[in-house]
Structure 1
Amino acid sequence: MPSRARTGLQPCKEAGVLLDWDEFRFVKAVAEQGGLTAAAAQLGINHSTAFRRLESIEAQLEMRLFERLRTGYVPTPAGLAMIEAAGRIETDVARFSRTVAGQDQTPSGELRVTAPVNLASGFLMPILASFCTRYPQIRIELILAEEALNLSRRDADVAIRASRKPSETLVGRRLTGLAWAVYGRAGQAYDDLASEAWVVPSPAVAGALFTPFIEAQAPAERIKLRINTLTGLTAAVAAGIGIGPLPCFEADSDPSLRRLSGPHPEIGADLWMLTHPDLRHAGRVRAFMDHFAEAILPLRPRFEGR
């Protein structure tokens, strides 16, 4: 009879049954999403399949894993125990995956890169194009996201991230400063910036980094538009809704915009390229990080607003 370790199944001591890792992952998704509909969408299955799957798992265990409430699915004590076990399994699987990937010295295979949305069109694509030409054996999966993906779980292999203080659990290098200034619509006269209408990021953006600056610069009654993401700020200013803070690397090259101030250090940040320590020696990761850092050097004045 095969051992549990060799079958890849995880024991459930309470009911004396064995459950596959996929069942643990499924229960964890239900808990994180708060119900079957969102969990099914995340896992790429339909709602009826998810319903039958949960019913089957609970039948095997002979106990409920979730209380079905109007506000969502709430884990029972048994459900919490299974979710905690799923977290431990997920961590072990990710660690093993990173270890294997980190030992591959050949610059080939798939590389998952994440970057902010607003970096994609302006400068990122030409760098990716030259990289693909230089390393034809590497296939890139680009994940554009406002939020920071979890590199420990291998949501991505390399992160290009704007930050003032990147996570100490990651390794990498600072590429350049990221300057921000106040911009308005090109061809429009501006006398007193405080009296102008403003377009600003909401307090939810970047950990409220912009809030003190906005409070000091723009009276509340002059704020015409708040946006809960950095995406769209440039278009809003260019459309004439109001003036507002924008990244210099993006706004200075836009002929529909006009810079109205020098860089404001209090809303500036740095551009970092980061990876997990287990992956830093992988051939494809090292090749990408070296190529990207080299390509950024001549662009630093643009990013720093010089």
Structure 2
Amino acid sequence: MCIAKQQLYILTKSACKNGQAAVDWDDLRLVLAVTREGTLSGAARRLGVTHSTVFRRLGAIEQSLGVRLFDRFRDGYSATAAGESTAALAARFADDFVALERRLSGQDLRPFGMVRITTTDTICTMLMRHIPSLRAAHPEIRLEITISNVMANLTRREADIALRPVPAPPETLVGRRIATITHAVYGSPSYLSRRGSADRTDHDWIGLDDMMATSVIGRWMRENIEDDRIAVKVDALPALTDAACAGMGLALLPCYVGDAEPRLRRARSVAVSAASSTLWLLTHGDLKRTARIQAVMNHLATALGSERALLEGKRPGKGAAPRAPRTNAG
């Protein structure tokens, strides 16, 4: 028996011994939600129930256990020592539950049900081109697509599949390497005609703010461009692209973004080195044999492989690449 289940057993046994009703998993989930949200309304939203339901159930749990789990304040609820212990137990038990859910999901035999995909704002544009063919091939699979520049926690089932540009994926994930993502410097035709210098120090540049300092573009800018040459900073690649289109200066962009944008041209006189990443299609090891996950992974690996010329900066329209090989990301 795992530690979390042992502690749950001891807690419920102790409650029954004292003539009290045993706490169950739903009770633990409620205590955890109130602890994490700090308010009953926040916990209600997290659990998908009403404020009054959380209020009533929390009172019943505290009465059943004979202990106060939260101190009530005007601006919310703060866990007592007993509440913190209960929430910590619930969090550990939740990890076991999610792990069990992952393993059971991995036993699915047919491509049916929901698949959650997470990707970045710019990759999503490419992904959407291939969703219609995916839906046509597998009409019983429903999709939920989340746009975020932060890697979702596939271990906790925040998503089933991640399509991410990363140098190397986490060891807990498996997947397929789609292509190298090449970068180049871009500017608007009007800017390039005004400022045709080959020396990058003579140009105005568009940079990324500190939130994206660790990205490929952020690192290259930090290593190659002086701060006083940066005319404007933005916090997302679409804004970086728009600023370059508006003629504010030069921008380092992934080629799949810059080459696909008709309002931009490559600044070929400005050399770029050591600015590349890798596009990975990833899932958790427990899910890789699930029929619906396999179906989506196989379809997207082939479809996105056809975009390899664009991803690698060889310009679109030069032919589809062969299917991406199956690779263990660890």
TM interval, short-chain normalised: 0.7 to 0.9
Deviation digits for residues 28-70 of structure 1 (CA, Å, limit 9, x no counterpart): 2333345455444444456666555545544443434345679
Report what 1:183 is aligned to.
Answer: 186
Is the Cα contact below 8 Å between 1:112 and 1:142 reproduced in 2?
Answer: yes
Instruction: Give per-residue Cα distances to partners, 1:66-101, cap 9 Å, x unaligned.
Output: 456799755432222222212222122212221222
Question: TM-score of the superposition, structure 2-length normalised?
Answer: 0.78
Tell me, yes or no, if the aligned pair for 2:216 and 2:277 is still in contact at 8 Å. no
Distance in 1 (alpha carbons) for counterparts of 2:57 and 2:248: 50
8 Å Cα contact 1:11-1:17 kept in structure 2: no
Residues 33 and 163 from structure 1, CA distance in 2 versus in 1: closer, same or farther, beyond 3 angstroms?
A: farther
Q: Which among 100, 105, 110 is matched to residue 106 of structure 1?
A: 110
Q: Secondary structure at the match of 2:293?
A: helix
Deviation per residue, 1:265-294 (Å, 9 max, x gap): 534211111111111111111111111111
Q: Deviations over 1:130-177 (max 9, x none)?
A: 111112222222222222111112222111111112110111111111
1:252 corresponding residue in structure 2: 259
Q: Which of the residues 24, 30, 33 maps onto 2:34?
A: 30
Checking the alignment, whether the CA contact within 8 Å between 2:217 and 2:253 is kept in structure 1 is no
- Write the letter of the residue equivalent to 1:178: I
Which ranges in structure 2 are unaligned for 5 or more consecutive residues? 315-330
What is the alpha-carbon root mean square deviation over aligned residues?
Answer: 3.0
Establish whether residue 80 from structure 1 lines up as the match of residue 84 from structure 2.
Answer: yes
Give the distance between the partners of 2:28 and 2:14, measured in 1 at CA: 15
TM-score in terms of structure 1 length = 0.84
8 Å Cα contact 2:207/2:218 also seen in 1? no
Match of 1:128 in 2: 131
State the alpha-carbon separation in 2 of the partners of residues 55 and 133 from structure 1.
50
Q: Does 1:163 align with 2:166?
A: yes
Q: Which residue of 2 aligns with 1:202?
A: 209
Counterpart CA distance in 2 for 1:263 and 1:34 is 52
1:288 equivalent to 2:303? Answer no
Contact 1:114 1:160 in 2 (8 A): yes
Shift of the 40–134 alpha-carbon distance from structure 1 to 2, 3 Å rule, reads same
Q: 1:119 aligns with which of 120, 123, 141?
A: 123
Task: Name the count of aligned residue pairs.
Answer: 299
Distance 1:13 1:220, change over 3 A: farther
Rounded Cα–Cα distance in structure 1 between residues aligned with 2:36 and 2:297: 33
* Change in 2 beyond 3 A, CA 1:70/1:180: farther
Does the C-alpha gap of structure 1 residues 107 and 208 become closer, same or farther in structure 2, counting only changes over 3 Å? closer
Structure 1 residue corresponding to 2:69, chosen from 65, 68, 93:
65
Change (3 A) 1:98 1:274: same
8 A Cα contact 1:202 1:227, kept in partner: yes
- 1:277 aligned residue: 285
Of the structure 1 ranges 233-242 and 202-211, higher mean CA displacement relative to structure 2 is found in 202-211
Q: 1:197 to 1:32 in 2, by over 3 A?
A: farther
2:154 is aligned with 1:151: yes
2:244 is matched with 237
Match of 1:91 in 2: 95
Q: Secondary structure at the residue paired with 1:141?
A: strand
AA aligned to 1:271 is: L
